[in-house]
Chain A
Amino acid sequence: MSMAAVETKKITLRTADNHEFEVEEAIAMEFSTIKTFFDENPDASEDTIPLPNVTSKCLSAIIEYCKSHLAFRARETSSSIDEQVRTYDEEFVKARDNESLKELILAANYLNIKALLDMLNQAVADRIKNKSVEYVRRFFGLENDYTPEEEAAIRAENEWAFEGVDPDDD
């Protein structure tokens, strides 16, 4: 009697720049958008899923993230695992510039991956935490489109918050 090899089901995803990615079903199911699609269309699993809003660079990073977190979750929970997860998340975010963070956020939002989205949002929030308004503008390439009167009114609205922020050190 031969043992049939269990084949892990693979799902094919096509990115905006026409790259195809084959991922294990378990990983594709981390993307709630895709999971919902399959729940509603159970016969569609052989088809290639188009992701017009996601670039290949983003998708490969996201796949890496989900793969790693799935592996973490498969192990027994402990404080050292939590520590490893924290370190992984920090490293995942640290080297990325604002533009790629933004793309990842948009992709994670589109694919509806809550844990990744929360982590990315927290990372961006940490980058602008306790910084001056000018720093926030420079950092995110925002143009100050207020008239001087409007700006004064806005600052008066929350005057208490504008003192004592970290010095702009660049």
Chain B
Amino acid sequence: MWSTLPFDVLAKIFSFLSPDSLACARSACRQWHTCARTYPSTLPQHHQAWFLALPTRNRGQCCYVHNPVVDKWHMLSLGFLPDPIRPVASIGTLILVRPTNCTILQLALCNPFTRQFKYLPMLNITRTNPAVGVVILEPGQPGPNPDFRVYVAGGMSEAPRGGATYEATLEMYDSVDDAWHIMGFMPVEFAVRLTVWTPNESVYSDGVLYWMTSARAYSVMGFHLGSHTWRELSVPMADRLEFAALLWRNGRLTLVGGTCGEDACIWELTEGDGWGLIEKVPIELGVKFLGGKRSWGSTKCVGSEGAICLYREFGSGMVVWREIEEKVRWEWFWVEGCHFIRDKQVQNLQIKGVFLYPNLAPSCLLSI
């Protein structure tokens, strides 16, 4: 019967299973468990990224993931973490996180499915509250652990004679040599913006790292990696937007934002640094999302390769724009907020979200 199926054939069947179904299948008997362990699926091409919600007032207890295929929420225990964390960005099947119990920036990699966690080395110049960004080298290459670089810009560091000063350096971590390198400097006023007004991670597009800054009016700062030069981009309706987020979609820098009483919009960066409106959140979804209110104030937004998600608190529900046909058709979906898991009520928590490709295979990258 099936227990005698050769492993390479069984492994191919496993590669068609979503992570939750794979978890069940490999628990069926020793043969199947050994097969799943021996032939871990490389990142399956047709599987979608899952939304991961991390409570911000995080007592380090758990996080929540959403399976988009069957529209189901799961709870993942975070008891394995040494410190409570906040997600920064996602790197394929891993998330880049920072512990919240220390002011100095330290970064770590984490896979909540395999319960692995590993700190990156400390930066050359310790600093608090810098802007952070990730560049994945050669995305789309086979394998769940691509090479990547992390960029840290600005922040506040200790001044030579005591006190703190704005840190005008930019550092880069290279996963290939597992080390930080100082890459360059920036004008002090940029360092201030990157420290005080840049809560979210950067978006990499076309050789430039872009950060959304929100001082009075929103604007975008860009660092060109090749020439180490900085530039600024204006943002449509910059002083009226109640929320604004940068994403990468279909090879273009994408901006999502909303103004009071109107539809939330999605723009794409065009030639000549202009923004072209490409889509609006459908009215009925916007109304449902805001619960009848007119203000987009508490809205947050994240994206992955094939999806853009607007979210608020954990129980509020989410609006998702998802790629249905590759590069051809995107559709809007409503995702009900999570109120119960395993018949236990879940609090309506504040969350920070990232998209993640679930991977059940332990990564050697994270073995200490």
Contacts and interface: CB of A to CB of B under 8 A. Distances in A.
A151 B12 CA distance: 24
Contacts of B29: 137, 142-146
Interface in A109-134: 109, 117, 121-122, 124-125, 128-133
A142 B16 contact: no
Contacts of A142: 1-3, 28-29, 31-32
B221 to A, nearest CB: 38
A98 interface: yes
Contact of A102 (B2, B20, B27): B2
Range class of the B interface residue count: 35 or more
Interface string A153-164: 011011111111
A143 B25 contact: no
A124 B9 CA distance: 12
B12 A128 contact: no
Contacts of A140: 1-3, 28
B50 to A, nearest CB: 12
Interface in B107-148: 113
A136 interface: yes
Contacts of A122: 16
A100 B84 CA distance: 51
Q: Which of B5, B23, B28, B65 has the most CB of A within 10 A?
A: B28
B5 A155 contact: no
Given A124-B13, A141-B1, A163 B25 contact: no
A159 B341 CA distance: 13
Contact of A143 (B3, B20, B74, B342): B3
Contacts of B33: 154
Contact of A165 (B24, B31, B32): B24
Interface string B8-24: 01001111111111011
A152 B336 CA distance: 32
Interface centre among B14, B16, B23, B24 (most CB of A within 10 A): B24
A109 B19 CA distance: 24
Interface string B58-72: 000000010000101
A144 B29 CA distance: 5
Interface string B246-282: 0000000000000000000000000000000000000
B74 A131 contact: no
B232 to A, nearest CB: 43
A160 B74 contact: yes
Contacts of B360: 158
Nearest to A139: B2
Contact of B24 (A98, A121, A136): A136
A128 B17 contact: yes
A117 B3 contact: no
Contact of A161 (B24, B31, B341): B24
Contact of B25 (A99, A105, A136): A136
A93 interface: no
A29 interface: no
Given A117-B12, A125-B17, A133-B28, A158 B23 contact: yes
A85 interface: no
Given A102-B5, A144-B29, A160 B76 contact: yes
Contacts of B32: 142
Contacts of B3: 140-143
Contacts of A117: 12
B30 interface: yes
Nearest to B74: A160
A106 interface: yes
B75 interface: yes
Contacts of B12: 109, 117, 121
Contacts of B342: 163-164
9 contacts: A121-B15, A125-B13, A132-B24, A133-B27, A137-B28, A157-B23, A160-B77, A164-B74, A164-B342
Interface of A: 98-99, 102, 105-106, 109, 117, 121-122, 124-125, 128-133, 136-137, 140-146, 151, 154-155, 157-165
Given A136-B28, A157-B23, A160-B20, 20 more contacts: A99-B1, A102-B1, A109-B6, A124-B16, A128-B21, A130-B20, A131-B24, A136-B24, A140-B2, A140-B28, A141-B2, A144-B29, A154-B27, A158-B23, A159-B77, A160-B65, A163-B74, A163-B341, A163-B342, A165-B24
In the A-B complex, list the 10 residue pairs whose CB atoms are closest, starting with the nearest: A161-B23, A125-B16, A158-B23, A140-B2, A161-B20, A141-B1, A142-B29, A160-B74, A121-B13, A136-B28
